[in-house]
Amino acid sequence: MLPDLATQFELFSTGGSDADLIGVAPLPPDFDHLPGKLPDGLRLGTSSWSFPGWAGLVYGQRVGEQMLSREGLGAYSRHPLLRAVGVDRTFYAPLSADEFRHHAVQVPADFRFVVKAHAALTTPIDRQARNIAVQPDVDRFLDLDYAIERIVTPAVEGLGERLGALLFQFPPLGLPYAREPQLFLEALGRFLQALPRGPQYAVELRNREMLGPEYADVLARNGVTHCFNVHPRMPSVLDQAELLGEHSWLSGAVVIRWMLHPSQDYEAARERYFPFDRIVDPDATNRAAVATLLEQILGRGNEAIVIANNKAEGCAPLTLFGLARELVRRAQPPEPAP
């Protein structure tokens, strides 16, 4: 049984970092040489890092959620397969540049963060949930000044080269945008065009009716990538690529987020999969689709960042381990016929 350090950290003497004390779990035996076999342009990561159930998979010791939230990133980033992470908490409230710097100093230079924009920026005011931190009755939907001041500038200043992508995740938009997608696409185009150049921006949708040439053109004109997402509301990632056509393959890092098992909603998945320490519902169909999409993306010279959620199969690190095995298996030359 792994030791529980949640109540023992004060017993350690100084001299080692918290990341040293938390430690890194060893790779599975069949992974001894796997990291070196994955493509250089591929980074794998999870949505956040503060899950005690990952002890023995990511972390060497069992540590409480609060400790992992504050100090676990340094240990997480030492895992040889985890070269990226999603920062999901920024969807609920923005972080300051200093808070981003605290994250950046814990990870190596080649590590990348995928930072979600605040939901107030991507959610029409009539559809905002109570847990979105925003002034009452203030409409921040596609507010350029708010995006620059509270989202883009702090992330760029705090993370620097470690910023892999700024992600604008749009929830189901409802009326009137669902009836007239062109209204949304025109507003999105104006917003993206006015953003500061430099960071990699990505857009994630939950309205399948938005996918198509017009949406792809809006992204292409502004050097923005589509975030391919595995989610029950959306077509498969391969269908997303087909609907977007050649504009799926823009320069820069393409983000794929493997979010939710097709049989679950978020609340049911959280209850079913907690404490997120094992695969509960294997999803071979989406694993194969993501692997095929990665072959296409990397084969065309793009970089790719895959972010997996615990709610995809039950345990995000194990979902990524399975994807890595699949990619290596596909890359091996076929055995000669007898």
Mind spelling out the 3-state secondary structure of 106-123? CCCCCCEEEEECCHHHHC
Within a domain: 6: no
Within a domain: 128: yes
176-212 pLDDT, tens digit each = 888 888 999 999 999 999 999 999 999 999 999 999 9
245-270 pLDDT, tens digit each = 877 667 678 999 999 999 999 999 99
Q: How many domains does the chain have?
A: 1
Within a domain: 9: no
Within a domain: 25: no
User: Could you tell me the residue range of the domain that residue 265 belongs to?
Assistant: 33-330
Q: With contact defined as beta carbons under 8 Å apart, do 32 and 292 qualify?
A: no
Within a domain: 8: no
User: What is this structure's pTM?
Assistant: 0.91
CATH code (residue 44):
3.20.20.410
275-325 pLDDT, tens digit each = 999 999 999 999 999 999 999 999 988 999 999 999 999 999 999 999 999
Within a domain: 16: no
1-39 pLDDT, tens digit each = 444 444 433 333 344 578 889 999 998 888 877 777 888
Within a domain: 55: yes
Within a domain: 219: yes
Mode of pairing for the β-strands spanning 112-116 and 253-258: unpaired
